[in-house]
Structure 1
């Protein structure tokens, strides 16, 4: 290659690289204000929850505050039978909740098997901020909540109680794919300072064995944040998600150069390949990297995520691994 052609091709390459960087910057930086665009994503079609998180970000809330505000919306929604108040009970008729949070500094908090407390994502934040621990469980988590000013609430609604009585007639247990208001809510936010945080909340599987804990409160499984790289959250059958430490895996895949979409797809594929019966359950992930790029992918058809960016809250249907 002569000098003239080398310079010409190098110039084209430089233009292409500059264009790529410009396009990435357009997503991260508002062209008018020069500020970083806040972004919120959440598992499933929780429109109001993700809008609450997105608006909080636009109002200057930090990423963790916004994520928890989004999760709180579903925790108090009596129509949601898999999160917070009104959730389906375990086999003994008790509603038990799990949650976790993680901020941009790597701090995290978690609660498991909590009864009679509605906003367990907020409680996980209290564990992170006001205890020497990362995780509190059961009665200990409940007593901590009361000491921190949370109010005792009966979380078993008449609707959940009636459904539980119907279930008792057969007492058959098998996870059902893509029902029950779609399982866990996980919210990941990027604030106007470019910081990432996340929150995750669930009641777990309906009519689970007493004491069962899924992936949602397990840091690295249901939720993981590395502010230098990105964040991920999971939903679906927690037993399978824990086997691959799925959210941590996705962040590490992004660290090694994969996009959020590629990382989510790889995590789902690993679950599908190692599971004996992948057609019998659902696993799905959402992810966001430091640049504000997002990804989402599921094992089965039927998953969707919400994305709030530039004042618009959009539902995004997911591609999936298992084809019929």
Structure 2
């Protein structure tokens, strides 16, 4: 009996020690300062877009509202030639727009090959919130946009039309890294409540075939958000991003324990491997990712140098040069 009592006492003390110490250790080690709110966006036009998003984030607003507001600014700017109004047309002279949006609950909405509507990102959000579908394309997307009160307008500016007519003289499709490939604004944000959302919008590759759709409106390719892990968005040659479901890949790499920076690097190197395995050159292929995790840590990586991204957090708004696999090309 004594030995049994002694055993139980030892067991009780051991259990007590195990039950108390880990909790103490966890409480001590879990005091990690989360960098929130924070918003990231692709390219130098992301600086102005971030300012719009920050107006919402800095007042405790939702990341979803912030990313929509942020990219709408770029969509409406005719001087930004790869997004929205003033975007470069396809080879038929038509400006067709693609966009998608994703919130912290894995709600998603997307439009592709949408014409004559300045803000495809807001139409994508309406698809998410007001339809049983996740993606509308072409004429159907336009009909839906009009049903939601969006007005048709000509998105082909005089400057874009002039470029298109000049291109028609040769009709040679030869994307230039960081110019024609500089084609998207992707934005991801973590709000003060610790929730993530993202948005992605583009007019796509300049002088593409009519009907071509890239990665930007495809959830998992151009954008992906997992509120338990992080978010990622892509820019560049959409066909290559689709081939690896790139943004989803970045988030899954973060799930496996990679930092946002390392996850972007691994994803880009996989695209490079796939490209080389197909006997293709990297000369005219640019892909870049930006990523953000739940702690507010972030990173970016691309194939060619010349890619940059904007970051806005409590330290301010700044443009950051993305790390690259190859040297600067533009």
TM-score by length of 2: 0.88
- Residue pair 2:186, 2:233 contacting (<8 A) in 1 also: yes
Q: Which of 21, 29, 33 pairs up with 1:26? A: 33
Deviation, structure 1 residue 18: 5.5
Residue of structure 2 equivalent to 1:252: 252
Mapped pair 1:197 → 2:197: yes
Structure 1 Cα separation of the partners of residues 174 and 182 of structure 2: 15
Mapped pair 1:290 → 2:289: no
Mapped pair 1:315 → 2:315: no
Deviations 1:106-129 (A, max 9, x none): 000000000000100111000000
Deviation, structure 1 residue 27: 3.9
Residue of structure 1 equivalent to 2:19: none
Residue of structure 1 equivalent to 2:83: 83
- Residue pair 2:311, 2:320 contacting (<8 A) in 1 also: yes
Q: Which of 281, 300, 308 pairs up with 2:304? A: 300
Superposed, 1:1-324 pairs within 5 Å as 22=31, 25-28=32-35, 37-45=36-44, 46-180=46-180, 182-275=182-275, 276-310=280-314, 312-323=316-327
Residue of structure 2 equivalent to 1:31: none
- Residue pair 1:81, 1:180 contacting (<8 A) in 2 also: no
Deviation, structure 1 residue 181: 8.9
Find the residue that maps to 1:306 and give its secondary structure. Answer: strand
Structure 1 gaps of 5+ residues are 1-13, 29-36
Deviations 1:8-48 (A, max 9, x none): xxxxxx99x957x55xx3343xxxxxxxx210000111211
- Residue pair 2:75, 2:119 contacting (<8 A) in 1 also: yes
- Residue pair 1:41, 1:189 contacting (<8 A) in 2 also: yes
- Residue pair 2:181, 2:236 contacting (<8 A) in 1 also: no
Structure 1 Cα separation of the partners of residues 176 and 68 of structure 2: 27
Count of residue correspondences: 301
CA root-mean-square deviation? 1.9
Find the residue that maps to 1:295 and give its secondary structure. Answer: strand
Structure 2 vs 1, CA of residues 315 and 18 (structure 1 numbering), >3 Å: closer, same or farther?
A: farther
TM-score by length of 1: 0.89
Residue of structure 2 equivalent to 1:10: none
Deviation, structure 1 residue 311: 5.5
Structure 2 gaps of 5+ residues are 1-23
Residue of structure 2 equivalent to 1:4: none
Deviation, structure 1 residue 140: 0.3
Find the residue that maps to 2:258 and give its secondary structure. Answer: coil
Task: Write out the 4+ residue segments of structure 1 that deviate beyond 4 Å after TM superposition.
Answer: none
Find the residue that maps to 1:278 and give its secondary structure. Answer: coil
- Residue pair 1:97, 1:203 contacting (<8 A) in 2 also: yes
- Residue pair 1:41, 1:308 contacting (<8 A) in 2 also: yes
Structure 2 Cα separation of the partners of residues 175 and 287 of structure 1: 25
Structure 1 Cα separation of the partners of residues 267 and 53 of structure 2: 26
- Residue pair 1:80, 1:180 contacting (<8 A) in 2 also: no
Deviations 1:37-63 (A, max 9, x none): 210000111211111112221122211
Asked which structure has the greater CA Rg, the reply is 2
Structure 2 Cα separation of the partners of residues 129 and 27 of structure 1: 30
Deviation, structure 1 residue 175: 1.1
- Residue pair 2:184, 2:201 contacting (<8 A) in 1 also: yes
Residue of structure 2 equivalent to 1:3: none
